[in-house]
Structure 1
Amino acid sequence: MAKELDVLKLQPGGNPGISLVTILFDGTNFLSWSRSIKLALTAKMKLSFINGENKKPEKNAKEFEQWIRTDSMVASWILNSIKREIADCFMYTNTSRALWKELKNRYGQSNGPMEYQLKKELSAVIQGTMPLFAYFSKIMRLWDELSCITPTPSCTCGNCTCGASKESARIKENDQLI
C-alpha cells in the first residue's frame, strides 16, 4: 500500500506545463520519442500509469481523487511532449493510459514500409568524413530502431528450450551482418 501511495505522489517540481523530453513527437519519431517518455516516466515513478499496471480505483476509494490528479499530470506531460498540431487530436482522451494506447496504435505499429526504410538507411550508411564514434552511433541507433519494429519469435515454453531466443539472436545477427 505504501508503494501505491508513492506512485500517486506528485513532486513539487512537477507541473502540467512541462515537457518530459527535449525533442517533441512530430509524427515520424515515435520509437525514439516513446523510449524517452518511458525513461522520464520511470524516473518520476509514473510509468505504471501508461503501461496499465496502475489501474483507476473505484470512485468511492480513498485514493480516487489523488489518482485522477496524478493521471491528469501524466497525460499533460505526454501532451506537452507532442507537437501542438498532433496533440490537439488527443486532447479528449480520458486517461493517460488511453492516450498512450491511442498514440501507440496510431504511430507505433510495426510495419513493412518502416522496416524497409530502416534497412535501406542502414545499407546506405557510409563513414565518409564522420568520426568513427558518430558513424558507429548512427548504425547502432538504426539497429536498435529496427529491432524494436521487427517481429521476433518469443519463448512460450517458459524455460527457453524451444530455441526462440537463439532464433531471435540469429535474426538480429543476420540483419546486422547484411
Structure 2
Amino acid sequence: MEDNYTAWIQSMVIALTIKNKKGFVDGSIKKPTSRVEEAQQWERLDTLVKTWLIASMLKPISSSVSHCKSARDIWLELQEMSSHTNIVQLFHIENAIHDFEQGTSLVLSFFTKLKGLWDERDAIFDIPP
C-alpha cells in the first residue's frame, strides 16, 4: 500500500463514481434511520462496496481493515494508515526535487523528469477524502 496508495485510491474513486457508490466512502450517502427497508438496502450496498474495497487489497492490508463496520470506516482507516507513509514519501520527493540537476541531460528530458517529481508531490496532496 505504501507504494501505490495514491494510484489505488484514485482508481477506486473512479470505479466507485462510475458505479454511483462513491458516497459510501466519502460519507455523503448516510445510513437511513427512518425506514427499515431503506436501511436494509443501504446495508446491502455498503457491504457490496466493502467487498470491492477488500477484494482490491493485498491480504495483509485487507486483514488489517476487516474489523471495520462500513465502507466509510475502511476508507478512513486506509487514509490514516497511508498518512504516515505520505509524510515520508513527501520528504523523499521534496529532497529529490531540491537535489535534481540537469547535468548533461537535454532540457526536455530534464524538465520531464522534474515535472514527474512535481506531479508525484502534488498527487500526495490531492488524495480524495
Q: Which of the five TM-score ranges fits, normalised by the shorter chain?
A: 0.7 to 0.9
Is 1:31 aligned to 2:9, yes or no? no
Supply the RMSD in Å over aligned alpha carbons: 2.8
Counterpart in 1 of 2:60?
85
Counterpart in 1 of 2:15?
40
TM-score (norm 2): 0.75
TM-score (norm 1): 0.57
Matched-pair contact (CA < 8 Å) for 1:115–1:150: no
Size of the alignment, in residue pairs?
A: 120
Counterpart in 2 of 1:119?
94
Give the direction of change, closer, same or farther, for the CA distance of 1:125–1:89 in structure 2 (3 Å limit).
Answer: farther
Give the direction of change, closer, same or farther, for the CA distance of 1:79–1:59 in structure 2 (3 Å limit).
Answer: farther
- Higher Cα Rg, which structure: 1
Counterpart in 2 of 1:174?
none
Partner amino acid, structure 2, of 1:41: L
Show CA shifts across 1:96-154 (max 9, x none): 0000000001113552x32121123444587x99xx79x83x65443233124359xxx
Is 1:51 aligned to 2:26, yes or no? yes
The answer for unaligned runs of 5 or more in structure 1 is 1-25, 152-178
Show CA shifts across 1:25-64 (max 9, x none): x332211211111111111111111001001112743211
Q: Distance in 2 between matches of 1:40 and 1:48?
A: 12
Counterpart in 1 of 2:83?
108
The answer for unaligned runs of 5 or more in structure 2 is none
Matched-pair contact (CA < 8 Å) for 1:27–1:86: no
1:95 to 38, 63, 70: 70
Matched-pair contact (CA < 8 Å) for 1:31–1:108: no
% identical equivalent positions: 28
